[in-house]
Structure 1
Amino acid sequence: MLSTSEGQFAQPAIPRFDGHYDHWSMLMENFLRSKEYWSLVETGYDEPQANAAMTEAQQKRLDEMKLKDLKVKNYLFQAIDRTILETILQKNTSKQIWDSMKKKYEGNARVKRSILQALRRDFETVEMKSSECITDYFSRVMSVSNKMRFHGEQMLEVTIVEKILRFLTDNFNYIVCSIEESKDTDTLTIDELQSSLIVHEQKFHQKPVEEQALKVTTDERIGAGGRGRNSYRGRGRGRGRQAFNRAIVECYRCHQLGHFQYDCPTWNKEANYAELEEHEDVLLMAYVEEHEAMRNDVWFLDSGCSNHMCGDARMFSELNESFRQQVKLGNNSRITVKGRGNVRLQLNGFNYVLTAVFYVPELKNNLLSIRQLQEKD
């Protein structure tokens, strides 16, 4: 931040001791080095004996050292809380204050070894969590690594790189193999590794375009001897997926041309659309894979569905729950229709009403019958 004088910067804040000695000592050392006072803390200065003869230059040099030491002490007094300073007996020089803080909070060699052992254990056991991102994982590993370095452990960069690669989640297995094959881990830096893994992580999070398509499955019996949408007996036999002429389709009820049995005008409209004889299986609706998530707000267009179908009773504006039917799926299973009514939809600000919609509680997805929409038109 610039001060009122152009080109001058505000003085850096003195790091306050918050109980975390490792972090505070690093910040304070850097602060004192920037002021060119660190030598007073590290080595101190020699106080001459009483009544010792000193030249004028020596006396001037001693006065300068004392003045600098007073400045360092002032910084330390501002950084350390009063309750902590009261526990320090020797406060004559900045070196005495610094050494006392170091003994209190860093500990002696035995304590340091104990701390280092605990950090080594943490370093070996830390691994990436399934819900954790690369940045957070690297942050945890580097936090332990830096503490180990502070306590005297020789932490080579290749050691940290190999540790990170070993404990990534299974999603990164092929990436780890690719990195180990294409790059030399002895020369690979931590920053390069993190950058590479973040790029791959972003690819994981790219959502594929949702394809709202249904997989229509037909029973083998339909293709062999029954009548499906694309297979017929008599006229129009064995057309497969080729286009067909509806005019040549023969109804198995009235034996007239131009419509299927379930479209027959002589058929009782109140009869069950789905309940035909066993030897004439009809695909009435597309088979929705069970692993697809249920979406009450999504409607799928289905060219093989005989009626509109909805699985959520709350979407009906009118519902006759006394209506009962059986609907046969493409996988040869049956589900029960437990009502029929009207559903009101709102699309782009306009209200639409679907009539004669079957209420099927077991249905995982709402279906729009293309045939029923065409009949309405």
Structure 2
Amino acid sequence: MASNNGVFQAPLLKLTGRNYHHWSTQMRVMFESQDLWNLVEDGYKELVQKVGTTPEQIRQDKENKKKDRKALFLIYQTVDENIFERISSSDTSKEAWDSLYKTYRGEDKVKAVRLQTLRCEFDGLKMKESETVEDFYNRVITTVNQMRLNGESLSDKRVVEKILRSLTRKFEYIVVAIEESKDISTLSLEILLGTLQSHELRLRQFDDTSSIEKAFHSRVTPKEDYVEGSSKGREQRKPLSETQCFYCHKYGHTMKYCKKRKADEGEDANFICEKESKEGETMFMAMEELDSLVDDAWCKDGDLVKRNKKVCMPVNDTLHGKVKGFDDG
């Protein structure tokens, strides 16, 4: 933090009322670095000159007064306008400092109420699913520091136990491992944070790998596993295993591919129909196995059909000739 002729040029944290802890900690360190903290803590008392006062005492008093004014100026410079009005009448840096301390740190009764609030906040701390280990750790430490500043005697062991029992379920296995392999009473908060962050990194890598595999699986899923349907005018797709046949009422296929329907309708018989396109017109062809015919049979155009052979003719044409043996019977 640079200074020019003893006056700080870098911006300092301003006291707004709700950040007294951070502001007072920063200011104390700054005062100590400038050899001003003794005057702020103990106060400056102006020297009363009398017979026997030495020039060295006068010089030292002048120096102390200058330092006290410098500390008071720094306090003025780092508070907002509303707070400045409360301390503007202070004659020394100690007077201004103590006034802010009583206002924002409070007397014993105020501290007791604040500490009770902090205890409830500490007990209710839980890690959020979307929160990282570091973010949750910082929340816990912030509350712990506030409790200690207000007079709470809080050991690291209690803080470690609080963190371990407030993690999400995905840390359950690492918590068990820590409790069985380490001595909680001597485990430092820094080591605990490092261990949890290492486990969190492994979980994150595993989640990334699983996401890639799921994405790949969804891209290679065969289209045949799904069938299209409609519901209230919107097309939907559902797995084939959930599709029910309207004919046999079984699952796994549609009525179009139902084997029972085909068997019942005779699609597996020896009589089939097919469409052929010829000269822009549709012609239906019939095929029949002539097992029971006699050796001689007259068909259209006088073609002779032998036994156990097949003959094809247009369905719409009239059969010319008669098959021997049929008319006689």
Fold-level similarity (TM above 0.5)? yes
Compared CA separation, residues 51 and 151, structure 1 to 2 (3 A): same
Residue 300 of structure 1 corresponds to which residue in structure 2? Answer: 221
| AA matched with 1:69 | D
CA distance in 2, matches of 1:67, 1:210: 71
Post-superposition CA distance 1:302-344 (Å, at most 9, x none): 8xxxx685548899xxxxxxxxx76999xx6245479xxxxxx
d(CA) in 1 for partners of 2:216, 2:95: 77
Identify if the C-alpha distance between structure 1 residues 213 and 26 changes in structure 2 by more than 3 Å, giving closer, same or farther: closer
2:12 match: 14
Structure 1 segment 218-257 matched on structure 2, within 5 A = none
Looking at structure 2, the residues matched to 147 and 86 of structure 1 have their Cα atoms a distance apart, in angstroms, of 26
Relative distance call for 1:203 and 1:90 in structure 2 (3 A) is: same
The alignment partner of 1:96 has SS state of helix
CA contact (8 A) 1:212 1:300 kept: no
Corresponding letter in the other structure for 2:170 = N
CA distance in 2, matches of 1:13, 1:56: 38
User: Which has more helix, going by share of residues?
Assistant: 2
- Whichever of the two has the greater Rg, that structure is 2
Residue 77 of structure 1 deviates from its aligned partner by: 1.6
Q: Which residue of 2 aligns with 1:210?
A: 213
Alpha-carbon spacing, 1:65–1:328, altered in 2? closer, same or farther (3 Å)? farther
User: Which amino acid in the other structure matches residue 30 of structure 1?
Assistant: V
Alpha-carbon spacing, 1:75–1:212, altered in 2? closer, same or farther (3 Å): closer
- CA deviations on 1:10-48 (whole Å, 9 max, x unpaired) are 954333212221111111111111111111111113323
Partner residue in 2 for 1:174: 173
Letter in 2 for 1:187: T
Match of 1:187 in 2: 186
Matches for 1:1-377 after TM superposition, within 5 Å: 12-19=10-17, 20-49=19-48, 54-88=53-87, 90-205=89-204, 206=206, 207-208=209-210, 209-210=212-213, 298-301=219-222, 310-311=227-228, 333-336=251-254
**Quick one: which amino acid aligns to residue 106 of structure 2?**
G
- Report how far residue 300 of structure 1 moved: 2.6
> Structure 1 CA distance, aligned partners of 2:95 and 2:229?
78
- Distance, in Å, in 1 between the alignment partners of 2:117 and 2:91 is 36
Structure 2 segments unaligned to the other structure (5+ residues): 236-244, 257-329
For residues 203 and 146 of structure 1, the distance between their equivalents in structure 2, rounded to whole angstroms, comes to: 30
- TM-score of the superposition, structure 2-length normalised? 0.63
**Change in 2 beyond 3 A, CA 1:140/1:58:** same
Query: Cα 1:311–1:99, aligned 2, differ >3 Å: closer, same or farther?
Result: same
* RMSD, aligned α-carbons: 3.5
Q: Amino acid of the residue matched to residue 146 of structure 2?
A: K
SS in 1 for 2:221: strand
C-alpha distance in 1 between matches for 2:16 and 2:118: 21
Deviation at 1:70, TM superposition (A): 1.2
Residue 276 (structure 2) aligns with? none
CA distance in structure 1 between the aligned counterparts of 2:179 and 2:247, rounded to whole angstroms: 56
Unaligned runs of 5+ in 1: 4-9, 215-294, 316-324, 339-377
* 1:164 positional shift: 0.4
For residues 136-191 of structure 1, give each alpha carbon's deviation from its aligned partner in whole angstroms, at most 9, with x where no partner exists: 21121111001111112222211111110111122212211100111111221111
* Counterpart Cα distance in 1 of 2:225 and 2:21: 69
Deviation at 1:92, TM superposition (A): 1.0
* SS of corresponding position for 2:183: coil
SS in 1 for 2:194: helix
Say if 1:327 and 1:108 are closer, same or farther in 2 by CA, change over 3 A.
Answer: farther
Letter matched to residue 300 of structure 1 = T
Match of 1:45, SS state, is coil
Q: Which amino acid aligns with 1:333?
A: Y
The whole-number CA distance in structure 2 between the counterparts of 1:44 and 1:309 is: 83
User: Which residue is 1:346 aligned to?
Assistant: none
Identical amino acids, percent of aligned pairs: 36
